[in-house]
Amino acid sequence: MLPDLPSLRLLADLARLGSIGAAGRAAGISQQSASQRLRAMETQVGLVLVQRAHRGSELTQAGKLLVEWSGDLLERADEIEIALQTLRRGRSDELHVHASMTTAEYLLPRWLVRLRQQRRVAVSLRA
């Protein structure tokens, strides 16, 4: 069974921030709640994901792999959440551009900077 998205995000934040407390704060929960959520996820997947210590925590090899494998999933979930917010508001303040390398390197930077300055639109570019 797959872990839920908030638990995966918590594990990714732990990898990035280096402690359960910091990951919990990033998620808006207490250190104790974060630790409980991580233990529940370990039970769910049947693997030890976090090596806990007094000076912080680090991921086990299995935890590192799970974070790596879930990166695209979490990124896509963020995009979907933004899209849902846009639907709820009825408009978009973001522009996502996909372009070839040549176009992305030579033409788009100037265009996107100008667009952002004139329209205050958040722009992301994937080449």
| Same structural domain, 72 and 100 | no
Q: What's the pTM?
A: 0.68
Query: Once rounded to an integer, what is the mean pLDDT over residues 32-55?
Result: 94
| Same structural domain, 80 and 104 | no
Residues forming beta bridges with residue 124, ordered by sequence position: 96
Give the pLDDT band of residue 101 (cuts 50, 70, 90): confident
3-class DSSP assignment, residue 19? coil
| Same structural domain, 75 and 18 | yes
| Same structural domain, 67 and 9 | yes
| Same structural domain, 70 and 117 | no
Strands 122-126 and 94-98: parallel
Distance CA 54, CA 74 (A): 29
- What CATH number should be reported for the domain holding residue 48? 1.10.10.10
| Same structural domain, 99 and 65 | no
Give the pLDDT band of residue 92 (cuts 50, 70, 90): low
Query: Once rounded to an integer, what is the mean pLDDT over residues 27-51?
Result: 96
Share of the chain above pLDDT 70, in %: 89
Distance CA 60, CA 83 (A): 34
**How many domains does the chain divide into?**
2
| Same structural domain, 57 and 103 | no
| Same structural domain, 70 and 113 | no
Range of the domain at 118: 93-126
| Same structural domain, 45 and 69 | yes
| Same structural domain, 73 and 100 | no
